[in-house]
Amino acid sequence: MQSNFKKLIILFLCLLIVSTIVIFTMGRTITVKVGINNIGTYNVKIDNSLGDIEILENEKKGNGLILKVRGKKPGVVIIDVIGDKYQTGVVLYIHKSMVITENTYFGYSTGSEIIPISLSVFLIVTLVLLIQRYRYYIKQNLYQYKNIAYLGIIIFLSILTLSTIFSLINYQGLYETINNLINSMSFVSFILFPLALVTFILVTISNIQLIIKEGKSLRNFLGLFLGIFLCVSTLLPDFVYGILLKSQKINIYNLNSIGPYLYDFLESLVYLSISYLECVLAGTVVIALKAIRKKIKHNKDYMIILGCAINDDGTLPPLLRGRVDKAIDFRNRQLKSANKDLIFIPSGGKGNDECISESEAMTNYLIEKGISKKNIIMENKSANTYENIKFSNKLIKKKDANVAFSTTNYHVLRAGLLATEQGLKYEGIGSKTKMYFMINAFIREFIGTLYAEKKKHIMVFSLIVVLLIIMLSITYISNNI
């Protein structure tokens, strides 16, 4: 990781040097087109009271005039072209380096396309390195929070990279590119709010169903909290805009004051942050689905069956029965394809409201289904998934045993992550269940990823803040010079 970071630093410095050389070399002259419909006779008037230029070429072409100029003295020069019926002009900024920009201080200059090109190259290389790390860790072990974090960052940077590449189309300078990017953040609200609203509705419905089935708990409200957060965050800039509009101290229309830039910063930060969080959520869903759909090899020595609450009479509810049936089905397919049997470890202790342990209830069901008792090792002390895996692992005496676990599909990723935390490379299979369980599970692992990989997310968020500050500083300088 440190090696990749050094590579990116070196690449950034090289691109910065190349961009500087290109702009300082090519930017000393500029060709501007002054458009005048039906241009006939014309006169070029130059106001060089604040700066000075030299006209190298003057050519009438189509509906306009093509001028190639070179700077002679730093400052601002206004060129007016006066035709038979029309008058128009262009403003040129001659920097101290004698680089000339059009219309604004950070406007278009000859060769300035190198800036978005360099940024695109940097982002593409960053993406390639991230994808390499992601693929490495996925092959190493699917069940890692870092896989979700990497995938979320990759999705986010892919969107940012495409936006940067598209900015090359009809490129009009750094100032216009930044303005278009910031304005596009406002447009994102029209897309994000319906998405946030749909998310809010879906998770609210799923949470209500989950609470009815599973009871009230903090984790069963996670989806609802996320939906509310997305809706409130999306509406926040409009709320702040209303406050600033009524404020007597901050003028959000005066481009010479700090007001509009503070609002643009807040608005862009909110929308970029929401976009980033949605990318991480998308990464969570993708990894969870990969965990559910992963086909595991028929070479297992042990199959841990993760427990959950049983019925009052000691029988298995549909959720737990599905886990046991999935384990039995895998064993039967392994016997058929590899002629290899396995040992079942039904795992789960006895709750205060249960007549027998979950492990015993599963054992009874396994025997009913024709599984020999000698192929069953009971683990009846655990109280949660972490302990299911920990205590079951202690019962496995064979070194380098191939171990899998059976649970419900929404729970596969969670169980795998808990196994990884204990240094165990277990693979999982999942039985089908209701969609509302899956929605809440995705959101739980999304929040878990934010916490487990907080250093990566803080670094990305910090870069977003720095990038916004730089962009808005450029627009402020352009409007105040």
Q: Which residue has the tokens 């303005």?
A: 179
> What is the pLDDT, as a whole number, of residue 420?
93
pLDDT of residue 361 exceeding 90, the answer is: yes
Q: What is the mean pLDDT of residues 182-206?
A: 61
What gap in Å lies between CA 395 and CA 305, rounded to an integer? 13
Quote the Cα angle for 270-274-275, to 5°: 115
Lowest mean pLDDT among 165-169, 188-192, 320-324: 188-192
3-state secondary structure the chain: CHHHHHHHHHHHHHHHHHHHHHHHHHCCEEEEEEECCCCCCCEEEEECCCCEEEEEEEEEECCEEEEEEEEEECEEEEEEEECCCCEEEEEEEECCCCCEEECCCCCECCCCCHHHHHHHHHHHHHHHHHHHHHHHHHHHCCCCHHHHHHHHHHHHHHHHHHHHHHCCCCCCCHHHHHHHHHHHHHHHHHHHHHHHHHHHHHHHHHHHHHHHHHCCCHHHHHHHHHHHHHHHHHHHHHHHHHHHHHCCCCCCCCCCCCHHHHHHHHHHHHHHHHHHHHHHHHHHHHHHHHHHHCCCCCCCCEEEEECCCCCCCCCCCHHHHHHHHHHHHHHHHHHHHHCCCCEEEEECCCCCCCCCCHHHHHHHHHHHCCCCHHHECCECCCCCHHHHHHHHHHCCCCCCCCEEEEEEHHHHHHHHHHHHHCCCCCEEEEECCCHHHHHHHHHHHHHHHHHHCHHHHHHHHHHHHHHHHHHHHHHHHHHCC
Q: What CATH architecture does domain 302-438 belong to?
A: 3-Layer(aba) Sandwich (3.40)
267 or 413, which is more confident: 413
55 or 199: whose pLDDT is higher?
55
Of the CATH numbers 3.40.50.1820, 1.10.3720.10, 1.10.760.10, 2.60.40.10, which one belongs to the domain with range 28-98? 2.60.40.10
The better pLDDT of the pair 160, 402 is held by 402
- Residues 224/208, Cβ–Cβ less than 8 Å: no
Per domain, the residue ranges of the chain are 28-98, 114-287+450-479, 302-438
Characterize the bridge pairing of strands 64-73 and 29-35.
antiparallel
Burial pattern 421-455, b for ≥16 Cβ within 10 A else e, equals eeebebbbbbbebeebbbbbbbbbbbbbbbebbee
Q: Span 211-221, mean pLDDT?
A: 60
pLDDT at 160: 81
Q: What percent of the chain has pLDDT over 70?
A: 80
Cα–Cα distance, 148 to 129 (Å, whole number) = 16
CA dist 73 → 61, 95, 433 (Å): 28, 9, 74
pTM of the prediction? 0.81
Per-residue pLDDT at 330 exceeds 90: yes
Q: Which two tokens stand for residue 54?
A: 């030299």
Which tens digit of pLDDT belongs to each residue from 20-48? Answer: 999 999 999 999 887 666 656 667 777 77
The token pair that represents 271 in the structure block: 């929308």
Query: Does pLDDT of 434 surpass 80?
Result: no
Residues 6 or more apart whose Cβ sits within 8 Å of residue 29 = 56, 68, 69, 70, 100, 110
Q: Shortest CA distance to 155 belongs to which of 277, 305, 29, 258?
A: 277
State the pLDDT at residue 442.
Answer: 77
Residue 419's pLDDT is what?
Answer: 94
Query: How do residues 234-281 score in pLDDT, each as one tens digit?
Result: 666 667 666 666 666 666 566 667 777 777 787 778 777 777 887 888
Give the mean model confidence (pLDDT) for residues 324-344.
Answer: 95
- Length in residues, the chain: 481
Of the given ranges (179-188, 339-348, 460-469), which has the lowest mean pLDDT?
179-188
Highest mean pLDDT among 243-247, 315-319, 472-476: 315-319
Q: Which percentage of the chain shows pLDDT scores above 90? A: 37
Q: Which of 237, 236, 178 is nearest to 468 (CA)?
A: 178
